[in-house]
Amino acid sequence: MAASVLRSANGPPRLGLPGLWCRRRPPRGLWARARRLPGLAGSGRSVAAASGSGAAGADRYCVELLRKRDYEGYLCSLLFPAESRSSAFALRAFNVELAQVKDSVSEKTIGLMRMAFWKKTVDDIYCDNPPQQPVALELWKAVKRHNLTKRWLMKIIDEREKNLDDKAYRNIQELENYAENTQSSLLYLTLEILGVKDLHADHAASHIGKAHGIVTCLRATPYHGSRRRVFLPMDICMLHGVSQEDFLRKNQDKNVRDVIYDIASQAHLHLKHARSFHKSVPVKAFPAFLQTVALENYLKRIQQVDFDIFHPSLQQKDTLLPLSLYIQSWRKRY
pLDDT in tens, 265-304: 999 999 999 999 999 999 999 999 999 999 999 999 999 9
> What pLDDT band is residue 103 in, cutting at 50, 70 and 90?
confident
Task: Decide if pLDDT at 14 tops 60.
Answer: no
Per-residue exposure over 89-102, b if at least 16 CB sit within 10 Å of its own CB, e if not: bbbbbbbbbbbebb
Exposed (0-12), middle (13-18) or buried (19+): which is 235, by Cβ within 10 Å?
A: middle
What is the average pLDDT across 34-40? 45
Count, in order, helices (H) and strands (E) of the chain.
18, 0
Helix 185-193 with 199-219: angle, nearest 10 deg: 130
CA–CA separation, 211 and 200 (whole Å) = 17
CB of 281 closer than 8 Å to CB of 211:
no
Locate the DSSP E strands across 11-149: none
Residue 121, C-beta contacts closer than 8 angstroms, at least 6 positions apart:
130, 131, 133, 136
Q: What is the pLDDT of residue 11?
A: 43
Closest CA to 309 of 265, 266, 247: 247
What is the average pLDDT across 318-328? 94
CA–CA separation, 281 and 200 (whole Å) = 6
CA–CA separation, 123 and 138 (whole Å) = 15
Q: What is the pLDDT of residue 54?
A: 54
pTM of the model: 0.84
CA–CA separation, 320 and 242 (whole Å) = 35
> What pLDDT band is residue 196 in, cutting at 50, 70 and 90?
very high
Amino acid making up residue 189: L
Question: Alpha carbon 122 to chain centroid distance?
Answer: 21
CA–CA separation, 112 and 299 (whole Å) = 34
- For the chain, the farthest-separated pair of C-alpha atoms sits apart, in whole angstroms, at 61
Task: Decide if pLDDT at 42 tops 80.
Answer: no
Q: Count of CB atoms within 10 A of residue 305's CB? A: 14
Q: Count of CB atoms within 10 A of residue 106's CB? A: 7
Check residues 8 and 177 and name the one with the higher pLDDT: 177
What domains are there in the chain, each with its CATH number?
45-165 (no CATH), 167-316 (1.10.600.10)
Q: What does the pLDDT look like over 222-273, one tens digit per residue?
A: 999 999 999 999 999 999 999 999 999 999 899 999 999 999 999 999 999 9
Task: Decide if pLDDT at 34 tops 80.
Answer: no
What is the average pLDDT across 27-47? 45
> What pLDDT band is residue 25 in, cutting at 50, 70 and 90?
very low
Q: What is the pLDDT of residue 10?
A: 42
Q: What is the pLDDT of residue 273?
A: 97
> What pLDDT band is residue 50 in, cutting at 50, 70 and 90?
very low
Task: Decide if pLDDT at 27 tops 80.
Answer: no
Indicate the average pLDDT of the chain: 87
CA–CA separation, 66 and 322 (whole Å) = 15
Q: What is the pLDDT of residue 56?
A: 58
Q: pLDDT above 90 covers what percent of the chain?
A: 78
> What pLDDT band is residue 166 in, cutting at 50, 70 and 90?
confident
Task: Decide if pLDDT at 175 tops 90.
Answer: yes
The beta-carbon contacts of 73-80 under 8 Å, at least 24 apart in sequence, are 73/291, 75/30, 75/321, 75/322, 75/325, 76/287, 76/290, 76/291, 76/325, 78/30, 78/33, 78/34, 78/37, 79/30, 79/33, 79/287, 79/290, 79/325, 79/326, 79/329, 80/193, 80/194, 80/287
Q: What is the pLDDT of residue 276?
A: 96
Q: What does the pLDDT look like over 73-93, one tens digit per residue?
A: 999 999 999 999 999 999 999
> What pLDDT band is residue 38 in, cutting at 50, 70 and 90?
very low
> What pLDDT band is residue 106 in, cutting at 50, 70 and 90?
confident
> What pLDDT band is residue 19 in, cutting at 50, 70 and 90?
very low
318: left (phi over 0), alpha (psi -120 to 50) or beta: beta
